[in-house]
């Protein structure tokens, strides 16, 4: 992710979300369930403000259009001035039992 989370680079969806080699500027609307977008953005804003790890379980829109759940975790990568340069993260599918 870009430092401000506006751009997601090269998501590898592993059949959960669509793979793409192109940066996504619409990832929030494309991948995150509409009812969870606000809470995702609030958690992102907090992580950026605190320069801290982002962790959240949220609903997603799967590659086939069906709903799914993931646990997302991203860590900030800092530049030489201590500012966030980018985020590296993963999303792990949460299966219901």
**Residues of the domain holding 28:** 1-97
pLDDT by residue for the chain (97 residues), tens only, comes to: 999 999 887 666 566 666 667 777 887 888 899 999 999 999 999 999 999 999 999 999 888 888 899 999 999 999 999 999 999 998 888 987 5
Interior/surface letters 58-70, b for 16+ CB within 10 angstroms, e for the rest: bbbbbeeeeebbb
Question: How far is residue 32's CA from residue 58's CA, in Å, rounded to a whole number?
Answer: 8
Whole-prediction pTM value? Answer: 0.83
**Number of structural domains, the chain?**
1
The CATH number of the domain holding residue 20 is 3.30.450.20
């Amino acid at each position: 992710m870009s430092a401000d989370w506006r751009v997601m680079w090269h998501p590898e969806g592993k059949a959960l979300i669509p793979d793409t080699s192109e940066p996504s500027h619409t990832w929030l609307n494309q991948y995150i369930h509409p009812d969870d977008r606000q809470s995702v953005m609030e958690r992102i804003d907090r992580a950026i403000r605190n320069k801290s790890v982002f962790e959240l379980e949220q609903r997603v829109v799967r590659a086939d259009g069906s709903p799914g759940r993931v646990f997302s975790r991203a860590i900030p990568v800092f530049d030489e001035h201590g500012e966030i340069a980018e985020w590296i993260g993963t999303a792990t599918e949460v299966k219901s039992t």
